[in-house]
């Protein structure tokens, strides 16, 4: 049976952290053989918010490829490419923009919330409003039927379906309506117990040294009610315990009882936890370090990915142009 085609995108903004890995990249890696995956580094999308800093974008793009390969993306299974290497994304974006009503864009929740949250950048641009139209173009260009998304991206996927429906209504059946792939991974809290996010400054970067990871983890928030060493703890409200549940599964029962009886202190608990996280990251870091040595090889691989992506994208774009009368 033919595998369903999956498209996903990730923006190259800053260092990849453990939360990114568990929240999205792990699903890509685990789904590589089940679907026919197209994995896109959304460099055009990052221009919507980082257009003032081209040098940083160049480096983060390269770093992100190294992260993804080190984390298990296999370019023989997944078509990995830079969005801007496939000009069909921009072309389809323009065509879709012709039929996308402005009110649909103003009501996308991420538009309003980002405009309110991000004060240090001027996001009052045409490109930023059109962000979800570009995302629709990414997905529809490959006629992907599956898109792995976190909750925050669901409105973008819904908008993609609405744009596909409107297009098909005007011009005939060109696009399938994509469905989400729900990712069921546990949410990894950040160092302060909130969601791990670069904008909160509470992340554990994949490419850090083991020493730095350890130092960050020793400063993690714990159960706020456990003020003194002999106070009993409540592991279910402690972010450190959430890490044990993912990276130290075998020892979870002992950690729980040790914490609740106050036999185990937070310092020891964190030290053990940091050790487990570093054990998990050690082979990934070694692979990543090797990859960063060979920029030429990475460039060659990304050119190959773009070629494979263009073969599919150009076919769709031909159908689209014919349909709209170009």
Compute the distance between CA of residue 286 and CA of residue 157 in angstroms, rounded to an integer.
Answer: 36
Could you tell which of ligand SF4, ligand TRP, none binds residue 44, using a CB distance below 5 to 8 A set by kind? Answer: none
> Least separation, in Å, of the C-beta of 270 and ligand SF4?
6
Looking at the Cβ atoms of 182 and 225, the one nearer to ligand SF4 is 225
Task: Write the binding mask 1 to 40 for ligand TRP: x where contact by CB under 6 A, - elsewhere.
Answer: ------xxxxx-----------------------------
Task: Write the binding mask 147 to 186 for ligand TRP: x where contact by CB under 6 A, - elsewhere.
Answer: x-----x---------------------------------
61 among known catalytic residues = no
36 with 3: CB under 8 angstroms? yes
> Least separation, in Å, of the C-beta of 14 and ligand TRP?
12
> Least separation, in Å, of the C-beta of 115 and ligand TRP?
15
The residue annotated as part of the active site, out of 26, 114, 287, 308, is 114
Looking at the Cβ atoms of 16 and 240, the one nearer to ligand SF4 is 240
Could you tell which of ligand TRP, ligand SF4, none binds residue 269, using a CB distance below 5 to 8 A set by kind? Answer: ligand SF4
> Least separation, in Å, of the C-beta of 45 and ligand TRP?
5
In angstroms, what CA-CA distances link 117 with 27, 198, 217, 226, 261? Answer: 28, 14, 28, 33, 42
Residues that bind ligand SF4 in the complex, under the rule CB under 6 A: 222-223, 226, 233, 235, 238, 240-241, 259, 264, 266, 269-270
Within residues 134-153, the interface with ligand TRP by CB under 6 A covers 135, 138-139, 147, 153
Could you tell which of ligand SF4, ligand TRP, none binds residue 138, using a CB distance below 5 to 8 A set by kind? Answer: ligand TRP
Looking at the Cβ atoms of 20 and 222, the one nearer to ligand SF4 is 222
Tokens in use for 109?
């929740």
Active centre residues (catalytic): 114, 195, 198
Residues that bind ligand TRP (CB under 6 A): 7-11, 42, 45, 135, 138-139, 147, 153
């Amino acid at each position: 049976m033919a595998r369903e085609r999956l498209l996903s995108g990730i923006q190259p903004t800053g260092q990849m952290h453990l939360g990114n890995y568990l929240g999205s990249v792990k699903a890509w890696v685990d789904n590589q053989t089940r679907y026919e995956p197209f994995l896109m580094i959304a460099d055009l999308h990052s221009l919507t918010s980082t257009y003032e800093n081209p040098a940083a974008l160049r480096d983060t793009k390269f770093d992100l490829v190294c992260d993804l390969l080190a984390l298990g993306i296999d370019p023989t299974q997944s078509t990995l490419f830079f969005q801007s290497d496939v000009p069909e994304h921009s072309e389809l974006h323009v065509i879709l923009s012709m039929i996308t009503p402005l009110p649909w864009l103003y009501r996308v929740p991420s538009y309003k919330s980002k405009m309110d949250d991000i004060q240090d950048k001027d996001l009052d641009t045409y490109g930023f409003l059109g962000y979800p139209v570009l995302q629709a173009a990414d997905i529809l260009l490959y006629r992907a039927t599956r898109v792995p998304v976190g909750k925050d991206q669901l409105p973008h996927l819904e908008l993609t379906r609405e744009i596909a429906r409107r297009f098909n209504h005007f011009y005939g059946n060109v696009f399938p309506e994509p469905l989400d792939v729900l990712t069921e991974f546990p949410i990894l809290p950040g160092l302060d117990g909130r969601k791990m996010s670069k904008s909160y400054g509470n992340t554990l970067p994949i490419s850090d040294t083991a020493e730095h990871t350890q130092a960050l983890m020793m400063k993690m928030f714990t159960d706020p009610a456990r003020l003194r060493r002999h106070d009993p703890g409540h592991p279910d409200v402690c972010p450190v315990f959430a890490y044990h549940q993912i990276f130290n599964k075998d020892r979870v029962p002992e950690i729980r009882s040790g914490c609740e009886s106050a036999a185990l202190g937070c310092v020891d608990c964190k030290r053990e936890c940091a050790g487990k996280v570093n054990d998990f990251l050690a082979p990934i870091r070694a692979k990543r370090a090797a990859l960063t040595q060979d920029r030429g090889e990475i460039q060659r691989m990304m050119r190959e990915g773009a070629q494979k992506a263009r073969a599919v994208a150009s076919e769709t774009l031909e159908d689209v142009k014919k349909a709209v009368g170009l």
